[in-house]
Structure 1
């Protein structure tokens, strides 16, 4: 399987919205009410919100393609774009989402390694992310990649408060 990467631009907004809805829904719809899912999807992935994010200088999105079909995407943040105050020496992986049919094909690891490469290129000391405490597959993946839990924060799915573990990997 050939994996290709493309940095997203403002012209990619409709595709970014579609893959965001699809992958988030596939990943979390079975564990959340339809009302909370719809509320979150509309708030987080409406075109105006995604446009704001893609135009943020300290954020970047990348599409992963497998055999010329979009398989998933990565969003990273640095500096003041990070969702938590982690300092300028940190890079946040805010999103790695892969379509279900491309799960277990190495695409998540490929996107993780892209984020790691960017962190090293930018002389970051830490890479971090938030992961839902009930997402055992993702937690196991990140632990395998050398992350440890260093904190937690609240994440709101509609009107339901959930807990995300903050997981960190030291690079230096």
Structure 2
């Protein structure tokens, strides 16, 4: 997929399935996006602790080695710098799930690309990948205080299916669990 993103200063972005060698790029985007999104919202120590484990290259390498995980990376055409990614996995959410359910575990873009259409393109890739895997429903968790993300998912047809407490560092935060039939 090619996307023209002129407002951000990035001319073209391509999305492709990840390769095993993409773990460091996923780590970079994951840490940057998490910090951009939650600095000033969550405690700094919680952000740092979360990134040390959940946004470590080793975490992504493990996911990339698994057959039941699907990952896509968005890269700026000039220099192939990573600017976003999406991860689809088996569901690990505190709501009833069954055969045919998958989870959109992560969908991140760099802050300057918010509103550019890149998030929608990554979601489209994840939805198509989930359908190809035989999924009938896609679920996700979103921080209850992230109004921008909640509005994005609502526009894409996701509705609330439950709630969860999500551990980030030493603190737990309220998340909404959303679902969409495919």
Q: What is the TM-score when the length of structure 2 is the normalising length?
A: 0.86
Give CA-to-partner distance per residue, 1:105-157, whole Å, 9 cap, x none: 10000011111112222332111110010000000010111110010111011
Residue 144 of structure 1: aligned partner: 155
- After TM superposition, the runs of 4+ consecutive aligned structure 1 residues lying more than 4 A away are none
Q: Which moved more, 1:33-42 or 1:119-128?
A: 119-128
1:154 is paired with a residue whose SS is strand
2:88 is aligned, of 76, 79, 83, to 76
1:167 shift after superposition: 0.3
For 2:120, which of 109, 114, 117 is the aligned residue? 109
Q: Which runs of 5+ in 2 are unaligned?
A: 5-11
Q: How far apart are the structure 1 equivalents of 2:18 and 2:136? A: 25
Counterpart for residue 9 of structure 2: none
| Structure 1 unpaired stretches of 5+ | none
* Offset of residue 45 of structure 1: 1.7
* 2:136 equivalent to 1:91: no
Match status 1:39 vs 2:49: yes
Count of residue pairs the alignment pairs up: 168
Higher helix share: 1
Deviations 1:11-44 (A, max 9, x none): 1222121111111111111201111111111121
Residues 71 and 88, structure 2, Cα contact 8 Å, conserved in 1: yes
Q: Which residue of 2 aligns with 1:50?
A: 60
Provide the rounded CA distance (Å) in 2 between the counterparts of 1:119 and 1:33: 34
Secondary structure of the corresponding residue to residue 16 of structure 2 = strand
Q: Which moved more, 1:41-50 or 1:134-143?
A: 41-50
Question: Whole-Å Cα distance in 2 between the matches of residues 13 and 32 of structure 1?
Answer: 25
Structure 1 residue 74: Cα displacement: 0.6
